Amino acid sequence: MLERIIAQLKSKQILVLGAGLSGMSCVRFLAKHQLTCHLNDSRENIINREEFSQSFPYCSLHLGAWNEALIKDAQVILVSPGIDLVAEGLDELIPDDCQVMGDVELFCQITNKPIVAVTGSNGKSTLVSLLAHIGTGLGKNVALGGNIGVPVLEQLSDDIECYILELSSFQLETLTSMKAVAASVLNVSDDHLDRHLTLENYSEIKQRIYQQCETAVINRDDKLSYSHVNLQTKPIISFGSNSAQQGEFGLACEASNYYLTFGDEKLISLKELPLAGMHNALNYLAALALGHCLGWSIAEMVSQFSSFKGLEHRCQRITTTDNITWINDSKATNVGATLAAINGLSSTLVNNKLILIAGGDGKGADFSPLKAPIENVVSFVITLGKDGAEIAKLATNSQQVATLAEAVNVANQQAKSGDIVLLSPACASIDMFKNFAQRGEMFTDAVIALQEAS
């Protein structure tokens, strides 16, 4: 397969658009196989020109602006997922016979190993990481990639037994050749509407993943995640928060305890699982369904749950001595993720308060779905960033601040012993921070500094 693709590319005029992680992985792949190409990025200082020319003699570098001549002459364009060809006005320059694809599409054209693919607005990083953890624990040689970790072209290996891919809507726009064993759209909520314009369009793009898999693993709780799929055309396995039919995954309640189930078989109590909340219960169920499609033992998969501790910046508890639960959920970059965090924590409140810190760049999102949970569950809202004022309008009790450190101080004044302070922004971080990780780290540092000062 690899030899055939290399032979096809050898006679082509290849242009790599974007010099980020995926773009550079494409350049390294082409260089490894001595294929000539051009690399074009609109940013001027993204790469050291001298070092690049020494490392990649087969690739010419063009920085500072989009090179219209190269785009018009290209026969193959490898485009980074973060580049919006329409918004940048590049789509009109691309020849009709030019093949446009991303690094994941090129990878899928090359590999013949089993693939499990996951997309969704929220929870996909946790799910694929959980699934990779399970596979490793079962002695499988699995590779995790796509929109997470090491770029997939750098993970091509005969030794890999299975690839677990997290796919963004941007990656799905240029993906057509994947032949996954199973795929899932975990959920769909407002996100990236600055690029996809409508929720309907965004949902349709997400569901393209089902056109490229043998078995569709669908979320019964979220019709937006499967509304464009003809459920009669391929095998379906479903998961959801209600009771499961035979061959499906779900939840059952017995004596006030909830259990993960396969059909009517109880698998494990939610109280025994390290990740709390209904959104994480669905992640466990989706992982079981996807692993089941790979032929993995359900009982053996369940045995791996206890050793998976979750991801940084995703509902991550900060260790403190003040008896206040401080939670870093900085990776909640859209409304759906914040909804999941609030709803997941609501059952743990009893007589205590939940204080929410939110705000940032909403990227055109509709914040109105947050109004009901803020009114019913959240006691006080602290907002910041570009769209913080819009979120503040949803709350009766709120305060706007200028910095994250100020937000932590206000939260500390509001919180009492037993309360929960949740950083779950419902927004991207790009208006104030380098990325969501930096935002989460600064929140954690501010909370720790508060403890040390007290």
- Mean pLDDT, residues 160-168: 97
**Residues 154, 299 within the same domain:** yes
pLDDT of 247 reads 96
Q: Which residues are part of the catalytic machinery?
A: 124, 147, 192
The predicted-structure confidence for 95-154, as pLDDT tens digits, reads as follows 999 999 999 999 999 999 999 999 998 888 999 999 999 999 999 999 999 989 899 999
Q: 273 and 162, same structural domain?
A: yes
Regarding whether 123 and 241 lie in a shared domain, the answer is yes
Same domain, 153 and 88: no
- 136 and 256 housed in the same domain: yes
What would the two tokens of residue 302 be? 């369940």
| pLDDT tens per residue, range 147-158 | 898 999 999 999
Helix/strand/coil for 172: helix
Q: What is the CA radius of gyration of the chain?
A: 23
Residues in a beta bridge with 60: 38
Mapping DSSP to helix (H, G, I), strand (E, B) and coil, where does residue 419 land? coil
| In a shared domain, residues 93 and 200 | no
CB contact burial 109-127 (16+ within 10 A = b; e otherwise): bbbeebbbbbbbbbbbbbb
Q: Is residue 7 assigned to a domain?
A: no
- pLDDT computed for residue 167 by the predictor: 96
Q: What is the pLDDT of residue 224?
A: 87
Whether residue 3 lies inside any domain: the answer is no
Q: What is the mean pLDDT of residues 285-293?
A: 98
For 76, the token pair is 């193959």
* Confidence class for position 196, pLDDT limits 50, 70, 90: low
| DSSP string of 67-103, one letter each residue | -HHHHHH-SEEEE-TT--TTTTT-TTTS-TT-EEE-H
CA distances from 374 to 282, 323, 333, 395 (A): 22, 23, 17, 6
- Provide the residue type at 307 as one letter: S
Position 190 scores a pLDDT of 59
Indicate the residue among 286, 307, 328 that finishes a domain.
307
Q: Give the chain's domain count.
A: 3
Q: Which uninterrupted H or E stretch holds 26?
A: helix 21-32
List pLDDT tens digits, range 215-263: 999 999 998 888 877 777 789 999 999 999 999 999 998 887 889 999 9
CATH of the domain at 58: 3.40.50.720
Give yes or no for residue 26 having a pLDDT over 90.
yes
Note whether 300 and 365 are same-domain residues. no
Q: What is the spatial distance between Cα 437 and Cα 121, in angstroms, rounded to a whole number?
A: 18
The more confidently predicted of residues 51 and 230 is 51
- pLDDT at 7 (0 to 100): 92
What global pTM score does this model have? 0.79
What is the pLDDT at residue 24?
96
CATH code, domain carrying 220: 3.40.1190.10
Residue 347: per-residue pLDDT? 65
Residue 35 has pLDDT above 80, yes or no: yes
- Indicate whether 33 and 83 sit together in one domain: yes
Q: H-type helices in 138-192, by residue range?
A: 169-172
Residue 331's domain is classified under what CATH number? 3.90.190.20
Residue 174 and residue 154: Cα distance in Å, rounded? 19
Residues contacting 347, CB < 8 A, separation 6+: none
Alpha-carbon distance 366 to 194, whole Å?
11
Whether 6 has a pLDDT exceeding 90, the answer reads yes
Q: In this predicted model, what pLDDT tens digit does every residue of 335-371 receive, in sequence order?
A: 988 998 898 788 667 688 999 999 999 989 999 999 9
How many angstroms separate the CA atoms of 74 and 69, rounded? 9
In whole angstroms, what is the distance from residue 367 CA to residue 217 CA?
Answer: 28
Q: Which residue has the higher pLDDT, 170 or 268?
A: 268
Residue 423 has pLDDT above 80, yes or no: yes
277, 307, 337 - which closes a domain: 307
- Give me the domain span that covers residue 110: 106-307
Predicted local confidence at residue 194, as pLDDT: 66
pLDDT at 256: 75
Angle at 145 between CA 215 and CA 281, to 5 degrees: 60
pLDDT at residue 376, as a whole number:
93
pLDDT band at 284 (very low <50, low <70, confident <90, very high): very high
**pLDDT digit string, tens, across residues 409-421:** 999 999 999 899 9
From the list 369, 368, 344, the residue with the least C-alpha distance to 354 is 344
